[in-house]
Amino acid sequence: MSHTFFATCPLHLEDLLAGELKSFHARDVYIHPSGVEWKGPLETAYRCCLWSRIASRVFLTLEKFNGTDKETLYERTKEYPWEEHIHPEGTFAVDATTRSADITHSGYTALLVKDAIADRFRGLYGKRPTVKPDYPDVQVSTRLYRNEVTLSLDISGESLHRRGYRTAPGPATLKENVAAGILYRAHWPKIAEQGGTLLDPMCGTGTLPIEAALIATDFAPGTLRSYFGFLGWLQHDEGIWESLIREAETRRKEGMNRKLKIYCSDHHSAAVAATWKNIEQLGLQKIIHCERKSLSEIRPPGSSDMGLLVVNPPYGERLGKEDHLETLYHTFGEVMRNHFRGWHVALFSGNDELAMTTGLAPDKVNTLYNGSIPCKIFHYSIFSKEEHKKHREKVKPLTPGAQMFANRLKKNLRITGKWAKKEGITSYRLYDADMPEYSAAIDYFEGKYLHIQEYAAPAEIPLEKARKHLKELLSAIPHVLDVEKQHIYLKQRSRQRGKKQYRKIGRMGKEQIIREGGFQFYVNFTDYLDTGIFLDHRLTRRIIQSESKDRHFLNVFAYTGTATVYAAGGGASSTTTVDTSGTYLAWAERNMIVNGFKGNNHRYIREDAITYLSGEKRKYGLIFIDPPTFSNAKDRKEIFDIQRDHVRLITLAAGLLSGQGQIIFSTNYRKFRMDYDSLKNLRIEDITSKTIPGDYTRHKKIHYCWTIRS
C-alpha cells in the first residue's frame, strides 16, 4: 500500500535528504523548503526513521481539506476515522502550526483538533484516549497553511537528530543532522572510502567525529533510539520494523571491521571527557581517538598525508565573545597553512568576519542553519601560493545552460560595459533577469566586485531546478569576468515588508569605497540585502545636484545619505538628513565626511519622517523623498503604507517648501499610483523617463519619479 509522507530537515539540506529517500526506494520525490515529500510503502518511512542522517521528523499524511475556520477544522477532524490509528485506551498528543488568517494561534489549533478527536471517541466508545504530551502512542500533527489543513501522524515521534547515544550534551551542541550535512558537503564518505583521515581539533562533545564514524561504519543512526512515533500506532507493522533492525545490525557489524582513521581533540578536559562517554556509549573506542590538545599543537595524525579536517569553532553567537575569537581563527589558519598541505578543510561558522581572519580563501561556501542561526561551511584546499593559483585558474567546462548564460553575460558586458566606460560609470547593473530561468540581478562594482541578488523562485518552480540554474549562473561567471571568488557576494531577494526591507543579514562590517559622479561612497556587500547605494537612482542624484545650489536641502527616509552628498556637492546652503535608523545616519555622515562635507550646516536627525515633517518649521528649497513601500519602524505608531500615506506625506512636505522650492518624490513600488486628484493643488510632473539609467532600460519599472511644486 502506498502512502504520502513528508520529512523535514534543516534548511539547505533538502537535496541530501531527497538523495537518501531515493536510496530507500521512495517514489515521486518532491523537494520543498526545509523538507521533502514522497510516496511509497510504509517501509520507506521506517527506513527514513532508522537510516536518515539528515531528516528531522517524518510525517504520514492522513487527510487534507480546504477551510481553516474553526468550525470546518473541528467538524472535518471529528469526521476522520481516528479509531483506525489510536486505541480508545491509548495515548495521544497534538501539535500544530498555522499560517492562516482564520486561526492564528497554534495552541488554539491544537486544542480544537484534540477536542475533535476526543469527541469522536466519546461518541463511538463512551470514552477517549488519554492526552499524553511526552512519548504518546500516537502524535498527531496539524498544519494550517492559507486555506488548507493537513492532518498527519508524526511517526518519528521526536526529532531524529537525537541519535540516542548522547549522555553529556555541551552548552552549544551541534545537532547531529546538521553535522551529517556538513560531512556530506565536505565529501567525507568518499574520503573515508579512499582511506583518508578525519580530524576535528575543536570537537566539543564529539558530534562531528562521532557522526563521521557512524557514516563510515554504516551504523544506522536510529539504532539506539528507544522511541518512535509509530511504535504505539495501531497500523504499525512490527514484521517490517524487526526486519529492518536485523538488517541494520548486520551492516553495523560489517562496518565496524573497516579500517578507519578518525581523530579529535579539544583544549578543554571536560569536553574530552564528555566525548569519550559518547564514544563508549556507541562502542566506537577502536574507531575514534580523542585527546586533550591545544589548537596550536595540532598536526596531521600519524603518517596521514591527506584527509578531511572538519571544525565547528565558537563564533560569538553562543560561546565566547567575538573579541576573543579572532586569535583563535587566526591561529587555525596559520596551523592549516603550515602543517596541513594536501588536506581538505571544512570550517562551519556563523560569523563570516571571523572566518576571514583565518587568512584562507575558500574554494566554495555552503549556507546551512544551526537551529535558527544562519551559518556557512567554508571549504578550503590547502595549497602553496603557486598551487593555489593553478587551482583557481582551473575552470570547468560549462554545461549547455551555463554556456547560454555566459553568452548573455558576455553580450551585456560588451554593450553595457562600453556604455558605462563612455559615461565614466564604474559601478552598474550588468544583468537583471534577462533570461527568466536565470532569475537574478548582477551589479558590477568598480570592475572588481560582483553583487548577485537571486530572486526567490515562484512556488511552482521546483527547488532543485532553481538551484541548478543558480549553479549554472555562478559557474559561468569565471568564464566572462575576472573577479576573485572572495569578491563575489550572493544573496537571495524576495518581496520584503516593513523593517525587513533593510534588515541586517550579517555582521562582517567590511566596507569598500566606490566612486560615482566625482564622489566617493561607502558600500557594504555582506551585511544587508542592499549595498548602501541604489544604482538606479544615479540620474536622480544628478538632478538633485543640479537643483540644490544655494538651497536648503532636506532628505527624509534618507538611508545612507547618497542624495545628501550630491546636494552638498551641488552647493546646497545646508543639508538635513532624516532617518529612523542610527546605523544609516552614521553611514550617511561617513559618506559626507569622506567627500569633505563637514560642519554645522549639515544636520543628521534620527526621527520618523512624518513626525519630523509634522513638527518642522523651517523652509526648504529642495526636498527628496524616497520612502519604503511599507514600514513598521518602532518609532512609528502605525504602519507606513506608501500607497495609502503618500498624499499625507507629500502634503506635509509641500508645506515646508520655500517660494520656488520643489520636491523630488520617488518610489520603487511597481503598483504605485499617484493620487493626482487629492493633490490637485500641487503641480506634479512625471520625470520617470529622465531618471532611468542606461543599465536599467531592460526593466524600466525599476522606480517612478516626480517633481512636485506648490
Query: Do the Cβ atoms of 7 and 36 come closer than 8 Å?
Result: yes
Q: Is residue 660 part of a domain?
A: yes
CA angle 241, 246, 249 (to 5 degrees): 125
Q: How many helices (H) and strands (E) does the chain have?
A: 19, 30
H helix or E strand, kind and range, residue 662 = strand 657-667
Residue tagged 537574478 (cell numbers): 440
Does 16 share its domain with 86? yes
Kindly state the average pLDDT of the residues 689-706.
Answer: 91
Q: Which of 328, 357, 391 is the last residue of a domain?
A: 391
- Give the residue among 207, 182, 192, 195 at the shortest CA–CA distance from 346: 182
Does 586 share its domain with 701? yes
Q: Is residue 470 part of a domain?
A: yes
Q: Is the pLDDT of residue 568 over 80?
A: yes
Query: Do the Cβ atoms of 6 and 57 come closer than 8 Å?
Result: no
Q: Is the pLDDT of residue 34 over 90?
A: no
Instruction: Please tell me whether residue 208 adopts helix, strand or coil conformation.
Output: helix
Judging by DSSP bridges, how do beta strands 512-516 and 519-523 pair with one another? Answer: antiparallel
- Give the residue among 609, 625, 703, 612 at the shortest CA–CA distance from 661: 625
> Residue 528 carries which DSSP code?
B
Q: Is residue 166 part of a domain?
A: no
Kindly state the average pLDDT of the residues 407-435.
Answer: 93
CB within 8 Å of 663: residues ≥ 6 apart? 622, 623, 624, 625, 650, 653, 654, 657, 707, 708, 709
- List the grid coordinates of 641: 503604507
Query: Do the Cβ atoms of 212 and 184 come closer than 8 Å?
Result: no
- Cα dihedral 262, 265, 271, 273 in deg (nearest 10): 70
CB within 8 Å of 119: residues ≥ 6 apart? 78, 128
Q: Is residue 439 part of a domain?
A: yes
Does 323 share its domain with 273? yes
Does 447 share its domain with 337? no
Give alpha helix (H) positions in 152-265.
176-185, 188-193, 207-216, 238-255
Q: Is residue 161 part of a domain?
A: no
pLDDT tens per residue across span 218-239? 999 999 999 999 999 999 999 9
CA angle 507, 511, 515 (to 5 degrees): 150
Does 546 share its domain with 687? yes
Cα distances (angstroms) measured from residue 151 to each of 100, 144, 181 = 15, 9, 29
Does 119 share its domain with 7? yes
Q: Which of 453, 479, 494 is the last residue of a domain?
A: 494
Instruction: Please tell me whether residue 45 adopts helix, strand or coil conformation.
Output: helix
pLDDT of amino acid 318: 45
Q: Is residue 171 part of a domain?
A: no
Which CATH number fits the domain that encloses residue 555? Answer: 3.40.50.150
**Phi and psi based region of residue 73 (left: phi greater than 0; alpha: psi -120 to 50; beta: remaining):** alpha
Q: Is the pLDDT of residue 319 over 70?
A: no
pLDDT tens per residue across span 585-599? 999 999 999 899 998
Share of the chain above pLDDT 90, in %: 70
Cα distances (angstroms) measured from residue 395 to each of 346, 398, 578 = 22, 9, 48
Distance in angstroms (rounded) separating the CA atoms of residues 567 and 517: 12
* R_g over Cα of the chain: 30
Range of the domain at 312: 176-217+258-391
Burial 212-248 (b: 16+ CB within 10 A, else e): bbbbbbbbbbbbebeebbbebbeebeeeebeebeeeb
Q: Is the pLDDT of residue 342 over 70?
A: yes
Q: Is the pLDDT of residue 317 over 60?
A: no
CB within 8 Å of 634: residues ≥ 6 apart? 580
Does 66 share its domain with 213? no
Q: Which of 376, 391, 406 is the last residue of a domain?
A: 391
Instruction: Please tell me whether residue 70 adopts helix, strand or coil conformation.
Output: helix
Distance in angstroms (rounded) separating the CA atoms of residues 442 and 454: 9
Distance in angstroms (rounded) separating the CA atoms of residues 170 and 271: 8
pLDDT tens per residue across span 80-130? 999 999 999 999 999 999 988 789 899 999 999 999 999 999 999 999 999
Query: Do the Cβ atoms of 648 and 641 come closer than 8 Å?
Result: no
User: At what angle are helices 238-255 and 42-51 packed, to 10 degrees?
Assistant: 40
CB within 8 Å of 530: residues ≥ 6 apart? 502
pLDDT tens per residue across span 389-414? 555 555 568 899 999 999 999 999 99
Share of the chain above pLDDT 70, in %: 92
Cα distances (angstroms) measured from residue 657 to each of 335, 566, 601, 680, 708 = 64, 19, 18, 16, 10
- List the grid coordinates of 235: 497500523
Instruction: Please tell me whether residue 692 adopts helix, strand or coil conformation.
Output: coil
pLDDT interval class at 323 (50, 70, 90): low
pLDDT of amino acid 387: 57
One-letter amino acid identity for 224?
L
Does 575 share its domain with 700? yes
Q: Say if pTM beats, i.e. exceeds, 0.75.
A: no
Q: Is residue 246 part of a domain?
A: no
Beta-carbon-side half-sphere exposure of residue 80 (alpha carbons within 13 Å): 25
Distance in angstroms (rounded) separating the CA atoms of residues 357 and 378: 13
Which CATH number fits the domain that encloses residue 75? Answer: 3.30.2130.30
Instruction: Please tell me whether residue 595 adopts helix, strand or coil conformation.
Output: coil
- Give the residue among 350, 333, 347, 349 at the shortest CA–CA distance from 298: 333
Q: Is the pLDDT of residue 625 over 90?
A: yes
Q: Is the pLDDT of residue 302 over 60?
A: yes
Does 423 share its domain with 385? no
Query: Do the Cβ atoms of 520 and 594 come closer than 8 Å?
Result: yes
Does 359 share its domain with 431? no
Integer distance in angstroms from the first to the last C-alpha of the chain? 75
Which CATH number fits the domain that encloses residue 414? Answer: 3.30.750.80
Q: Quick one: how far is CA 381 from the chain centroid?
A: 25
Query: Do the Cβ atoms of 632 and 674 come closer than 8 Å?
Result: no
Q: Is residue 358 part of a domain?
A: yes
Does 473 share its domain with 534? no
- Give the residue among 365, 374, 319 at the shortest CA–CA distance from 506: 374
- For residue 497, the tally of other CB atoms under 10 A from its CB is 13
H helix or E strand, kind and range, residue 652 = helix 642-654
Kindly state the average pLDDT of the residues 427-448.
Answer: 92
Kindly state the average pLDDT of the residues 6-14.
Answer: 92
One-letter amino acid identity for 222?
G
Query: Do the Cβ atoms of 310 and 215 come closer than 8 Å?
Result: no
Q: Is the pLDDT of residue 337 over 60?
A: yes
pLDDT interval class at 429 (50, 70, 90): very high
Number of domains in the chain: 4
Distance in angstroms (rounded) separating the CA atoms of residues 28 and 170: 39
Largest CA distance in the chain: 89
Does 377 share its domain with 460? no
Q: 514: which strand partners?
A: 521
- List the grid coordinates of 358: 583565518
